[in-house]
């Protein structure tokens, strides 16, 4: 996956005149903060230099994760979405992703850190008309109520920054602000998945309906030492490789997500949970379906199903009951 040209340009414009040594130092500082201080409600990013660096090192992966999760969601949710509420918007990656997939009429971005919203608003001037007109509001998810409402509410990589006591309260705020769907994207780690699992149980008990990734609304069928996560591959710029000290021209972002709706839409028949193992005349799949978590062999003799199995990737739907 590659970023939209306008987003690439917007990112590059934020770092014009900044020295690479400063960018590298800020990138290392941010990496350490997010690795060691997330989950405690601390303010991890407060100055414009750090926000600009964040747009280079984290925005592409966030865009890719939200784009992938939202694409899976929209494949199942047959509804008209015209407005977006991007909660904990950062520099606006989720809004850019939604704008790439939807014909939105209104975008509202809620962000606690002024440095982030300032950079994000400036970057959106390189985007579509709806991005240019996006409303930015200073907002703290752990403390403030959400006065806005929208058809789609997205919270990407924000709930992991809260402590356990704040997280469910925050999820309820997101739910109350959504006219149709909420999409929550978290790191594809056991901790990120565990956060989503608790939120899933809580919202389903309140009458919400599952959209994705789960093909059912029953208790999660994964073993306790396993976790549900997916991967998207993002092309890296030369500067991105430099700041993240990477050699390959791409980055694989592992993410977990939860899409919950007010109405009942169709669910996937089954979803692929691991990278398929393709052999001669056979594809081995790990799938989640209403029948549980299981391994399935699809053979060449299975015709159309075999053709489908050879093309699917981890996270995709597949027609196996």
- Per-residue pLDDT band for 209 (boundaries 50, 70, 90) equals very high
Q: 40 pLDDT exceeds 60?
A: no
164 and 304 share one domain: no
- In our burial notation (b when 16+ CB lie closer than 10 A, e otherwise), range 274-290 reads eebeeeeebbebbbbbe
255 and 278 share one domain: no
Beta strands in 1-134 (DSSP E): 83-87, 106-111
| pLDDT score recorded for residue 240 | 58
Tell me the mean pLDDT in the region 54-83. Answer: 93
pLDDT in tens, 75-107: 999 999 999 999 999 999 999 999 999 999 999
191 and 298 share one domain: no
203 and 225 share one domain: yes
82 and 101 share one domain: yes
Q: 152 pLDDT exceeds 70?
A: yes
The answer to whether residue 320 sits within a structural domain is no
| pLDDT score recorded for residue 291 | 86
Q: Which domain holds residue 304?
A: 270-311
| pLDDT score recorded for residue 21 | 67
The answer to whether residue 223 sits within a structural domain is yes
Q: 43 pLDDT exceeds 60?
A: no
| pLDDT score recorded for residue 244 | 59
Q: 210 pLDDT exceeds 80?
A: yes
Q: What is the pTM of this model?
A: 0.90
Whether the Cβ atoms of residue 90 and residue 54 lie closer than 8 Å to each other: yes
182 and 157 share one domain: yes
| pLDDT score recorded for residue 252 | 87
Tell me the mean pLDDT in the region 246-258. Answer: 83
Closest Cα partner for 24 from 59, 50, 63, 62?
Answer: 50
Tokens of 294: 């299981």
CATH number of the domain bearing residue 217: 3.40.50.150
d(CA 193, CA 227): 6
SS3 287: strand
Beta strands in the chain (DSSP E): 83-87, 106-111, 135-138, 150-156, 178-187, 209-212, 230-235, 250-261, 270-272, 277-279, 282-289, 292-299
- Per-residue pLDDT band for 251 (boundaries 50, 70, 90) equals confident
Work out how many domains the chain is built from and give that number: 2
71 and 160 share one domain: yes
pLDDT in tens, 166-199: 899 999 999 999 999 999 999 999 999 999 999 9
Tell me the mean pLDDT in the region 1-15. Answer: 87
Tell me the mean pLDDT in the region 2-16. Answer: 86
SS3 5: helix
115 and 233 share one domain: yes
The answer to whether residue 317 sits within a structural domain is no
The answer to whether residue 138 sits within a structural domain is yes
Asked which of 236, 261, 286 is the last residue of a domain, the reply is 261
Q: 31 pLDDT exceeds 80?
A: no
Tell me the mean pLDDT in the region 192-210. Answer: 95
Q: 19 pLDDT exceeds 80?
A: no
- Per-residue pLDDT band for 11 (boundaries 50, 70, 90) equals confident
């Amino acid at each position: 996956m590659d970023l939209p040209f306008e987003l690439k340009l917007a990112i590059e414009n934020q770092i014009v005149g900044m020295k690479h040594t400063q960018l590298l130092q800020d990138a290392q500082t941010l990496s350490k903060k997010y690795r060691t201080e997330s989950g405690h409600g601390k303010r991890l990013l407060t100055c414009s230099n750090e926000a600009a660096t964040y747009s280079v090192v984290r925005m592409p992966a966030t865009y890719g994760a939200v784009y992938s999760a939202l694409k899976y969601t929209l494949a199942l949710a047959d509804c008209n979405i015209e407005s977006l509420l991007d909660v904990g918007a950062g520099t606006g990656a989720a809004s850019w992703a939604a704008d790439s997939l939807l014909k939105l009429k209104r975008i509202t971005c809620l962000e606690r850190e002024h440095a982030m919203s300032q950079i994000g608003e400036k970057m959106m001037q390189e985007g579509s008309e709806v991005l240019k007109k996006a409303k930015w509001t200073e907002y703290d998810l752990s403390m403030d109520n959400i006065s806005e409402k929208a058809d789609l509410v997205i919270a990407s990589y924000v709930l992991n920054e809260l402590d356990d006591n704040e997280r469910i309260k925050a999820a309820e705020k997101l739910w109350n602000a959504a006219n149709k769907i909420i999409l929550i994207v978290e790191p594809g780690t056991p901790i990120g998945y565990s956060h989503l699992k608790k939120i899933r149980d809580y919202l389903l008990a309140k009458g919400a309906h599952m959209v994705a990734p789960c093909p059912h609304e029953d208790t999660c069928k994964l073993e306790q030492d396993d976790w549900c996560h997916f991967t998207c591959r993002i092309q890296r710029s030369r500067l991105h490789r430099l700041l993240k000290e990477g050699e390959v021209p791409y980055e694989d972002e592992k993410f977990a997500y939860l899409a919950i709706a007010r109405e009942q839409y169709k669910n996937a028949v089954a979803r692929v949970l691991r990278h398929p193992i393709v052999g001669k005349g056979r594809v081995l799949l790990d799938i989640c379906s209403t029948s549980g978590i299981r391994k399935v062999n699809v053979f060449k003799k299975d015709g159309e199903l075999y053709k489908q199995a050879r093309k699917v990737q981890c996270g995709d739907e597949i027609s196996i009951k």
